[in-house]
Amino acid sequence: MVTTFYPPANFGGDGIFVYRLTNALARYGHEVHVVHDVDAFHLLSNRPPQHNFPHPPNVVLHPLEYGKRGEIDLLMVHQLGRPLLKHAALQELLTGEQFDVIHFHNISLLGGPGILRYGDALKLCTLHECWFVCPMHVLWRFDREPCTRRTCLACTLHGRRPPQLWRYTGQRDRDIAQVDAFIGPSHFVEEIYHRHGFPAPIHYLPYFFPDVEAEAHGETAQETTPNDGRPYFIFVGRLEKIKGVQVLIEAFRHFQQADLLIAGAGAYEPELRAMAQGLPHVRFLGLLDHARLRALYRHAIATLIPSLCYETFGWPTLESFAVSTPVIVPDRGALPEIVRSGGGLVYTNTVELIEAMATLQRSPARRDTLGADGYASYRTHYSEESHLAQYHRLLGELGGFN
């Protein structure tokens, strides 16, 4: 596994997925090595790594941490699209172990597209976000709207980032030609990537929720009186503008029949807290461990995922489905694709969001039916067993191990 971020030096869902896939493959019997860049986490984070992330004994971690020299290398990678100071270490790691498969994930700061040339094994690359077609990663234009037309240079400058020189040289297409298969976690990924000129085919392989975590969701410890017994909806995720928590705060200004619990942290948190002043039923919980999140998911009326950007998947959907809790999502990106297979409601504006919340609170039977549909969808489409079967099938088709 080759990725920029990996728990606990991690921000979003891509690192969590790599962690879950690593452990699942290890439980299956494979030896798994993980190469990741701790310098990138320290450069972008104002907090130390959080929580404990255990591994089976056949997982080997290779964290790259160079301190100030590492920060210089990150700038070089960003501008040139290939590693320089860490080139030798990465070359040795990826060519010296005689791996069967090298699976790339978020490589934006670890090595840029140039790292796709490293190693001689069968190569996979999962498209967790839109970085290959968007210098801002998320197709969020001028920090105000989903991208509907390409203004990349102007958008990059608006975001106070230096333009990436390699994006204007044809390097991306030359480097991605070294990959045997690109993987998208939703059909939306394939659609949006090809709409923006990505030349390689994309194999659909959705995320999964691990069996061991699903089993832990059955625990009753720490679940006695979440939120002191008051009804609530929950948001779980990074507190960034694109995640749309401000939409929820505005909705709960008018919807006071239940609480809004916000679990997570991020750069936009001070602004969100200011917006929530005078709303005692809107509560910020900070970063929580998995056990506490399990309890909160289970007893929520629904999980709210109000993203303003194009989500390529949406992790809280599976975490909710695994405990039979429905979700409420906007009609944007991959989220409605996941929900329409069962497990929640889709809205197009704030009025419909409030109506969906009121519907599920007034009708516990409807809530429970949608929750059961979500659980069935998780077991059918998003289980660990299903994912690993498709993963190994793809490797077999590509000539890798079976």
Share of the chain above pLDDT 90, in %: 79
Give phi and psi for 43, each to the nearest 5. -65, -35
Report the pLDDT value the prediction gives residue 221, as an integer from 0 to 100.
44
pLDDT in tens, 332-345: 999 999 998 789 99
Contact 41, 5 (CB under 8 A): yes
Cβ-based burial of 328 (10 A; exposed 0-12, middle 13-18, buried ≥19)? buried
Confidence of residue 214 (pLDDT cuts 50, 70, 90): low
Report the pLDDT value the prediction gives residue 70, as an integer from 0 to 100.
84
Is the pLDDT confidence value at 3 over 70?
Answer: yes
pLDDT, greater one: 27 or 150: 27
Report the pLDDT value the prediction gives residue 189, as an integer from 0 to 100.
97
Mean pLDDT of 357-380: 96
Is the pLDDT confidence value at 330 over 50?
Answer: yes
Cβ-based burial of 26 (10 A; exposed 0-12, middle 13-18, buried ≥19)? middle
Q: How far apart are the first and last CA of the chain?
A: 18
Is the pLDDT confidence value at 186 over 60?
Answer: yes
pLDDT, greater one: 60 or 95: 60
Report the pLDDT value the prediction gives residue 166, as an integer from 0 to 100.
94
Mean pLDDT of 112-120: 95
Report the pLDDT value the prediction gives residue 45, as an integer from 0 to 100.
82
Q: What is the pTM of this model?
A: 0.92
pLDDT in tens, 11-36: 878 999 999 999 999 999 999 999 99
Mean pLDDT of 132-139: 93
CA distance 144 to 138: 12
Is the pLDDT confidence value at 139 over 70?
Answer: yes
Q: Where are the domains positioned within the chain?
A: 13-208+384-398, 212-381
Which CATH number is 13-208+384-398 given? 3.40.50.2000
Report the pLDDT value the prediction gives residue 390, as an integer from 0 to 100.
96
31-40, 50-59, 275-284: segment of lowest average pLDDT:
50-59
Report the pLDDT value the prediction gives residue 49, as an integer from 0 to 100.
73
- Do 13-208+384-398 and 212-381 come out as alike in CATH topology? yes
Q: Looking up tokens 């320290």, which residue turns up?
A: 42
Residue of 52, 1, 50 whose CA lies nearest to 30: 1
Mean pLDDT of 221-238: 79
Is the pLDDT confidence value at 311 over 60?
Answer: yes
Report the pLDDT value the prediction gives residue 149, as an integer from 0 to 100.
83
CA distance 192 to 188: 6
CATH homologous superfamily, domain 212-381: Glycogen Phosphorylase B; (3.40.50.2000)
Confidence of residue 215 (pLDDT cuts 50, 70, 90): low
Residue of 362, 360, 128 whose CA lies nearest to 234: 360
Is the pLDDT confidence value at 300 over 90?
Answer: yes
* H/E element, 133: none
For the chain, what is the mean pLDDT? Answer: 92
Confidence of residue 226 (pLDDT cuts 50, 70, 90): confident
